[in-house]
């Protein structure tokens, strides 16, 4: 078995594709740096990420497949499911090796898997747009903790920059320990030294603005008043509002 070790970045993956064709040896398994070596590994090769090589692969992909297909590759990368990098490597190699486009060749299990996984990540992106709830902090910054199933926050952040362009805000992924801060002009990626207090989905009351708690109570009161008990359908409710988002929703506190 041949294992390629790389830095677990998208550019690193594209560089691995470049090196595989240059060396004419294709890995049976991609392993992140520091990862556990697979059993029965006969040979290992370390990929050194090089931006120019990664760019050449990406430009070549853009020439032979649609923009939608290229977007799907980035969506699959953000899925972080087990084996996603091996899946992308096989898909990219099949794209280069085929004389015809493989985008709609759903008889190929890798093509089908890429489409299905990209669809799931896209769905999580839309769920983020629907279920993010901002809480106003004492420093006038609106804060929203989230924990999406997939790493879909980068895909949704531009929506919030457009939708809430007149206020400073932070959306923070407590599962992956990073987030984005908007300062009325630019969006920047940030990390917090200690984000353990955000795991409950709510800011500490000491950090809230004076009127935030009142607004939350008003919103919960409105949500309760609009609920028709006789028409409650919990199964349908969970379909439209997945339970994994509930602890971050003001109306569900």
One digit per residue, the tens of pLDDT, for the chain of length 253 reads 898 999 999 999 999 999 999 999 999 999 988 777 777 788 889 999 999 999 999 999 999 999 999 999 999 999 999 999 999 999 999 999 998 999 999 999 999 999 999 999 999 999 999 989 888 887 888 999 999 999 999 999 999 999 999 999 999 999 999 999 999 999 999 998 877 766 666 776 667 777 777 677 777 776 777 788 778 777 876 777 788 887 887 777 7
pLDDT of 183 reads 93
pLDDT of 237 reads 66
Q: Are residues 185 and 232 in the same domain?
A: yes
DSSP conformational letter for 35: P
32 inside domain:
yes
Q: Give me 44's structure tokens.
A: 């290992």
44 inside domain:
yes
195 phi and psi angles, rounded to 5 deg: -115, 15
pLDDT of 94 reads 96
CA–CA separation, 54 vs 58, rounded Å? 6
47 phi and psi angles, rounded to 5 deg: -85, 125
127 inside domain:
no
pLDDT of 7 reads 94
Task: List helix spans (H) across 80-167.
Answer: 84-97, 109-131, 153-163
Look at the chain and report how many structural domains it folds into.
Answer: 2
Q: Are residues 183 and 106 in the same domain?
A: no
Residues with Cβ within 8 Å of residue 165, at least 6 apart in sequence: 182, 184
Q: Are residues 13 and 104 in the same domain?
A: yes
35 inside domain:
yes
User: Which secondary structure element, helix H or strand E, spans residue 142, and what is its range?
Assistant: strand 142-146
Total-model pTM: 0.85
Strand partners, 6: 32
pLDDT of 199 reads 65
What three-state secondary structure class fits 221?
A: helix
Q: Are residues 173 and 82 in the same domain?
A: no
83: left (phi over 0), alpha (psi -120 to 50) or beta: left
Q: Are residues 176 and 103 in the same domain?
A: no
Residues with Cβ within 8 Å of residue 105, at least 6 apart in sequence: 111
pLDDT of 13 reads 97
Query: Helices 109-131 and 67-79: crossing angle, nearest 10°?
Result: 70
Domain span at 39: 2-121
Strand partners, 31: 5
Q: Are residues 115 and 182 in the same domain?
A: no
Q: Are residues 105 and 137 in the same domain?
A: no
pLDDT of 197 reads 67
60 inside domain:
yes
Q: Are residues 102 and 146 in the same domain?
A: no
232 inside domain:
yes
The residue out of 73, 98, 121 marking a domain boundary is: 121
The residue out of 57, 90, 121 marking a domain boundary is: 121
The residue out of 86, 121, 156 marking a domain boundary is: 121
């Amino acid at each position: 078995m041949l294992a390629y070790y790389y830095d677990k970045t998208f550019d690193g993956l594209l560089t691995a594709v470049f090196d595989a064709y240059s060396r004419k040896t294709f890995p049976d398994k991609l392993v992140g740096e520091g990862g556990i070596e697979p059993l029965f590994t006969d040979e290992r090769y370390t990929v050194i990420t090089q931006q120019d090589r990664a760019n050449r692969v990406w430009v070549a992909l853009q020439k032979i497949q649609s923009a939608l297909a290229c977007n799907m590759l980035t969506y699959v990368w953000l899925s972080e499911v087990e084996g996603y990098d091996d899946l992308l490597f096989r898909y990219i190699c099949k794209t280069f090796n085929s004389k015809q486009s493989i985008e709609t060749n759903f008889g190929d299990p890798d093509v089908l898997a890429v489409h299905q996984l990209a669809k799931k990540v896209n769905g999580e992106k839309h769920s983020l747009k629907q279920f993010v709830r901002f809480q106003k902090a004492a420093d006038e910054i609106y804060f929203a903790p989230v924990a999406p199933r997939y790493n879909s926050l980068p895909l949704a952040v531009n929506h919030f920059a457009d939708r809430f362009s007149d206020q400073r805000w932070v959306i923070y992924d407590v599962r992956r320990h990073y987030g984005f801060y908007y300062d009325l002009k630019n969006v920047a990626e940030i990390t917090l030294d200690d984000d353990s207090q955000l795991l409950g989905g709510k800011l500490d009351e000491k950090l809230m603005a004076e009127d935030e708690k009142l607004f939350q109570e008003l919103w919960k009161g409105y949500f309760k008043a609009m609920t028709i008990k006789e028409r409650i359908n919990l199964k349908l409710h969970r379909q439209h509002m997945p339970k994994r988002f509930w602890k971050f929703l003001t109306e569900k506190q």
